[in-house]
Structure 1
Amino acid sequence: MNRMKPSALLITAAAILVIVGLAIAWRLGAGTALTGGGSASVWSERADLAQQELEESFWDEKRGLFNNAAPCIAQLCTDPFNYWWLAHAVDVLVDGYERTEDTKYAEQLGKLYQGILDRNAGVFINDYYDDMEWMALAWLRAYDATEDERYKQAALALWQEIQTGWNDEMGGGIAWRKEQPDYKNTPANAPAVILAARIYEHTQDAADLAWAKKLYDWQKQTLVDPATGLVWDGINRQGDGVVDKDWKFTYGQGVYIGAGVELYRITKEQSYLDDARKTAANLKQDFLSPATGMLPSEGDGDGGLFKGVLVRYIGELIKLDPSQKGLIEMLLTNADSVWEYGKGKDNVLFSNSWAQTPDTVVQLSTQLSAVMLLEQAAWIEKQ
């Protein structure tokens, strides 16, 4: 993952534009009518509209992949190959399928599976351990939803490769990428905890649970502030053994919360749940706007995905601990804002900031985060 990404023809064309405009207006009108909240399925309908926009504005049927941006502009549509964005696209399709049981999501998952393989030389392996973890997590969820054996096998193969990223530099942990084995960070370790724990639930192999615990212990001891629960991004990025304490991102908090949730589900050891609650509580101090309760904009490119990862794992904590009313309120506050202020006026494309109008070109990463948020709101609505 990269950080800091002739007249008759005119009349016909004009007519087409009018028809398209009317169609969009009708679609958005249906969504806007939901603002009053009178419908019991308000968030599910909004999630439907966002998923529909994702397909219509980003999906490339020929390649079996989502484009990098909408509108699609020249080569930037397809290059670079944003592998880890596509992992989260898999997750978003699974969200839609789990919520609706509509087979269109399952069909698109199959196309995306093949599209990624075709683009990545017939394999899912790459040089970034965190990228492979996102992909393995997504395909394991896809398997759980669809029971398509291909997806489980992809996740297991990736897990075997991911384990090779562990070494004793910086006291342990999985490296961020193969070319930099002594740089360890949260996005290469906390998601691996979640993955190992979920694989253990499938295999019941004690070695997988041991991996989850070992990775968690390293993460907690090395990259978490014991006083506040704030999760730091990484250590030894510049070869100096220093922890990047000024690098604090929403997705780092999310995956550490998710790691604690998964281990608590399996072991019922209270410390894991306590850790997750502590980091979640610290969001108010380090990330939320005091005035509005909004999560920050973390830019476009990879940063566009960060909040989406956080809200996914906040959702997992809420499922485990429904008493987290403050977290539910935070998700719904952000969902209300992204729909009211962070959405395009003539489409269902979203902004990096969930409180302001989107840019002319919207990146896939940004769109995916907003869809994740709306899917979480839809899940809350059903409870």
Structure 2
Amino acid sequence: MKRRSTILTAALAVLIIVGLAAWRWGFGGAAETGSAASVWSERADLTQQELTKSFWDEKRGLFNNAAPCIAQLCTDPFNYWWMAHAVDVLTDGYERTGDMQYVTQLDKLYQGLLDRNAGVFINDYYDDMEWMALAWLHAFDATGDDRYQQAAMTLWQEIQTGWNDAMGGGIAWRKEQLDYKNTPANAPAIILAARVYTHTKADADLAWAKKLYDWEKSNLVDPDTGLVWDGINRQGDGAVDKDWKFTYGQGVFIGAGVELYQITKEQRYLDDARKTAANLKQDFLSPATGMLPSEGEGDGGLFKGVLVRYIGELLKLDPSQTELREMLLTNADSLWNYGKDKDKALFSNSWAQTPDAVVQLSTELSAVMLLEQAARIEKQE
């Protein structure tokens, strides 16, 4: 995830949203999300359709970087990890609707990615490859297409080569900086190893998940609060980047705990996930509105989407977490009523403000992820 120079410092949203129902974590009742039983599913449909209409390039079999598409910036740089999340949201759409158009588009995207990346899915960033492996394994589970499973397993073998003894272990962020270890390169790898284990039942895969988890928790999680720090030794000084607090880091550690709890039934994993999720109120959510922060454009536009995906996984496992449920619905309600273009299902980096004239793919993907989670909650009610 080549994001360091483009991320704006995460700031809590302070806009008090007129008309937004108060948030349940100390602010009253749940946000009103409409009376129709399928309101969120319909909104997810509209947003998925807009994603294809405004971003899809049929000729390349890839999504453009922005809408409207402006000159070379449409296609360059090649945002590999954004495309991984595009695979995920198309799979979300297929799982929710059973509409074969999603399967057709996944097939085109698979080939488009291979064509753009010299016929392989391997690249120089371990975290990027983890997102891609997770996405194709998700697509395999939904469609049964063996190509997707093979892509995920090939990537998983490559990802394991990123482990080394610098900083006491952990997977490196990239191949040119093997002594820099961070949450983006380790927590998603835990989720991946655990999900691979559910397919292979190989003890080695589960051992990887546990080893990675123990390293991540020991080095990059605040034992008092559950806050997940970003990385260690970025500048070669052994320091932990404790001031780098991003929503996606919380999300993937929550997801890691959920996956390992489901396999092992060891309570500590679920307790850790709950603790990190509870800390969102302290370090990320607006005390006035319960809104997640804007984390800027570029890669930062995707961060909240990663968080809400894995909050959704925790809710599937533990539906008693009603405060998390209401947090997601509050954010979804604001996104739709305040963060959407008035004429199109295009969205803002801030889920409480109207979007800029140009909307980046990363930002749109996060909006799709949030609306798909709201639709999942709706279906469960």
TM-score, normalised to structure 1's length?
Answer: 0.92
Of residues 77, 86, 89, the one that matches 1:89 is: 86
C-alpha distance in 2 between matches for 1:267 and 1:347:
45
Among the aligned pairs, what percent are the same residue? 84
Equivalent of 1:113 in 110, 115, 125: 110
Alignment of 1:349-360 (within 5 A): 349-360=346-357
Deviation at 1:257, TM superposition (A): 0.1
User: What residue number does 1:278 align with?
Assistant: 275
Distance across 1 between alignment mates of 2:374 and 2:229 = 27
**1:15 equivalent in structure 2:** none
Q: Please give the alpha-carbon distance, in whole angstroms, between the structure 1 residues aligned to 2:237 and 2:217.
A: 20
SS at match of 1:141: helix
* Aligned residue among 130, 135, 150 for 1:133: 130
Shift, 1:38, TM fit: 2.2
What amino acid maps onto 1:2 in structure 2?
K
For 1:306, the aligned partner's letter is F
1:108–1:197 Cα change, 3 Å: same
Q: Distance in 2 between matches of 1:340 and 1:332?
A: 12
| Structure 1 letter corresponding to 2:101 | K
1:37 positional shift: 1.3
2:316 partner amino acid: K
Cα deviation, residue 50, structure 1: 0.3
Please state if 1:46 is matched with 2:4: no
Distance 1:164 1:117 in 2: 22
Query: 1:17-64 CA distances to partner (integer Å, 9 max, x unpaired)?
Result: xxxxxxxxxxxxxxxxxx971210000000000000000000000000
- Classify 1:111/1:267 alpha carbon distance in 2 versus 1 (closer, same or farther; 3 Å): same
Say which structure is richer in helix. 1
- AA in 1 matched with 2:2: N
Q: Secondary structure at the match of 1:261?
A: helix
SS in 2 for 1:302: helix
1:107-256 alignment, distance < 5 Å: 107-256=104-253
Runs of 4+ in 1 over 6 A off after TM superposition: none
Written as runs of structure 1 = structure 2, the 5 A alignment for 1:48-63 is: 48-63=45-60
Contact 2:302 2:365 in 1 (8 A): yes
Paired with 1:52 and 1:292, the residues of 2 have a C-alpha distance of 29
How far apart are the structure 2 equivalents of 1:246 and 1:59? 36
Letter in 2 for 1:305: L
Contact 2:33 2:333 in 1 (8 A): no
Preserved CA contact (<8 Å) 2:254 2:276: yes
Write the deviation string for residues 229-264 of structure 1: whole angstroms up to 9, x where unpaired. Answer: 000000000000000000010000000000000000
| Structure with bigger gyration radius | 1
Equivalence for 1:305: 302
Q: Give the root-mean-square deviation of aligned CA atoms.
A: 0.7
- Specify the code of the residue in structure 2 equivalent to 1:244: D
Q: Does 1:267 align with 2:264?
A: yes
Partner Cα distance (1:116, 1:169) in 2:
32
Distance in 1 separating the partners of 2:221 and 2:364: 29
Aligned-partner Cα distance in 2 for 1:308–1:341: 17
Partners of 2:227 and 2:346 in 1: CA distance: 31
Q: Distance in 2 between matches of 1:331 and 1:37?
A: 15
Size of the alignment, in residue pairs? 354
What does residue range 1-80 of structure 1 map to in structure 2 within 5 Å?
Answer: 1-3=1-3, 4=5, 37-80=34-77
Structure 2 letter corresponding to 1:345: K
One-letter code aligned to 1:76: L
Bigger RCO (CA 8 Å, 6+ sep): 2
Please report how far the alpha carbon of residue 90 of structure 1 lies from its aligned counterpart in structure 2 after TM superposition.
0.3
Could you say what secondary structure the match of 1:153 adopts? helix
The answer to whether the 8 Å contact 2:258/2:314 transfers is yes
TM-superposition CA deviations, 1:256-280 (whole Å, max 9, x none): 0000000000000000000000000
CA deviations 1:278-330 (Å, max 9, x no partner) are 00000000000000000000000000000000000000000000000000000
**Residue 184 of structure 1, CA deviation:** 0.1
CA distance in structure 2 between the partners assigned to 1:109 and 1:48 by the alignment: 16
> In the alignment, residue 85 of structure 1 is paired with which amino acid?
W
1:258 partnered with 2:255:
yes
Match of 1:100 in 2: 97
SS of corresponding position for 1:266: helix
Aligned to 1:337: 334
